[in-house]
Amino acid sequence: MRVVVTGGGTGGHVYPALAIAQGLLKAKPGIEILYIGTDRGLEAEVVTRAGLPFATIKVQGLERRRLWKNFKALARLGQGLWEAYSLLRLFRPQVVVGTGGYVCAPVCMVAAILRIPVILHEQNAFPGLTNRILSRVARTVCLTFPEAKKYFPSRVELVTTGLPVRPEILATNREEARAKLKIGPDQFFILIVGGSQGARSLNYAALSLFRAYQGRPSLKILHVAGRKDYEQLKAEAAKLGIYVDGNGNITIVPYLHDIHLALAAADLVIGRAGASFLAEVLVKGLPAVLIPYPYAAGNHQEYNARALAEKGAAIIIRDNELAAGKLLRTVESLLADPERLKKMAQASARLGRPDALEKIVDKILALAEECHP
């Protein structure tokens, strides 16, 4: 059995694709996987490091503002279509799986022309442009959020599977994680995550929390600031008497490799509303304060956050509300209302989908066997 997996550009497309590829290898020994991406996206680094067969095509995204730049993009699309055709004819997959990003377009379009079944995975509550277009040639679209259904044509099969999360996040035990992070059984632990690149407005809004809760033994804060803003935030924190090299109740780091420990240990999470991060928060059943990134494509983080908030699992703060001190007021109100936190955690756990990868892999294998028994 042979399967092509494609998705690229950002981690939101690449990591789910990588998880699906690895899930297929585990579920079906002997299966052959080919990952098709570009040599400029994140996939070029991540997929090769994971040891998967990797091929590239030349393609670039369309510019929504500077339209004159699209002549080059359209020329590259033609080249990408031909390269995708060559790769698919050579590899002869039973199924092509796309997770979004512009590299998916030529691969999935050619697959449809060659009558190779296409399965898409959509990470967000408001689908990306590529997946909305490709859904017209797909057999199945696997959804993270059921709220995305209304944006796809009625003729395509829509299955709400959730989004695959890393195995270590599913496996990490809360008590062991808190012990490793030296968090006491009665301490309230807040995890703040701005994303791998950070989130400047969120970082600086967090200073109000540092000022309010510094030195409080019943509460601990771990803030993942992102490498870009870490030094500047550290300097601002030092002005408040908070030194990241000390052993106080507030810790600021540029990046956290052991995010699975922090998520397992947390009582409250504060962060952006990217789909992968939210999937991890939900499988751990955590209440969340979400600040959607306002410049995300199609404002999709706002839709993601709303999907959680409407079911009681999260509170939304707009990015432009941070400067007015709303983050501190929100956290104070939650700390004063343990019952509300408990209900948010229960709602979060109900939305979590720890079996997402299994469902997606089963769908792919069933389609592959149906079309090529």
- For residue 263 the two structure tokens come to 């998520």
> Which pLDDT score, from 0 to 100, does residue 60 have?
61
Nearest to 138 by CA among 164, 104, 161: 104
Instruction: Give the Cα separation of 144 and 122 in Å (integer).
Output: 6
Residue 192 parent element (H or E):
strand 188-193
Return the minimum-mean-pLDDT range out of 142-156, 196-210, 259-273, 351-365.
196-210
DSSP one-letter string for 229-261 = THHHHHHHHHHTT--TTS-SSEEEES--TTHHH
Q: How long, in residues, is the chain?
A: 373
One-letter amino acid at 338 equals P
> Which pLDDT score, from 0 to 100, does residue 72 have?
57
Mean pLDDT, residues 183-192 taken together: 96
Please give the C-alpha separations between residue 161 and each of 2, 110, 142, 175, in angstroms, as whole numbers. 22, 26, 6, 29
User: Considering Cα of 293, then 146, then 353, then 340, what sign does the dihedral take?
Assistant: positive
> Which pLDDT score, from 0 to 100, does residue 370 have?
84
Residue 361 parent element (H or E):
helix 356-371
One-letter amino acid at 343 equals K
Per residue in 315-362, pLDDT (tens digit) is 999 999 998 899 999 999 999 999 999 999 999 999 999 999 999 999
Please, which residues bridge with residue 314 across strands?
288
Instruction: Give the Cα separation of 286 and 48 in Å (integer).
Output: 33
What percentage of residues in the chain have a pLDDT greater than 70?
A: 93
Contacts of residue 281, Cβ cutoff 8 Å, sequence gap at least 6: 263, 269, 271, 288, 348
Please provide the distance, in angstroms rounded to a whole number, between the alpha carbons at the two ends of the chain: 10
Instruction: Give the Cα separation of 254 and 229 in Å (integer).
Output: 8
What percentage of residues in the chain have a pLDDT greater than 90?
A: 69
Domains of the chain: 2-165+354-371 (3.40.50.2000), 168-351 (3.40.50.2000)
Neighbours of 13 (CB within 10 A): 30
Helix (H, G, I), strand (E, B), or coil: what is residue 140? Answer: strand
- For residue 361 the two structure tokens come to 């892999």
Q: Are 304 and 294 in contact (CB under 8 A)?
A: no
Tell me the backbone φ, ψ of residue 252, rounded to 5 degrees: -120, 130
Average pLDDT of the chain, as a whole number: 90
Torsion over CA of 83, 87, 88 and 92, rounded to 10 degrees? Answer: 170
Nearest to 198 by CA among 268, 130, 135, 291: 291
Predicted model pTM:
0.89
Per residue in 205-263, pLDDT (tens digit) is 999 999 899 889 999 999 998 888 888 888 888 888 877 666 689 998 888 888 999 99
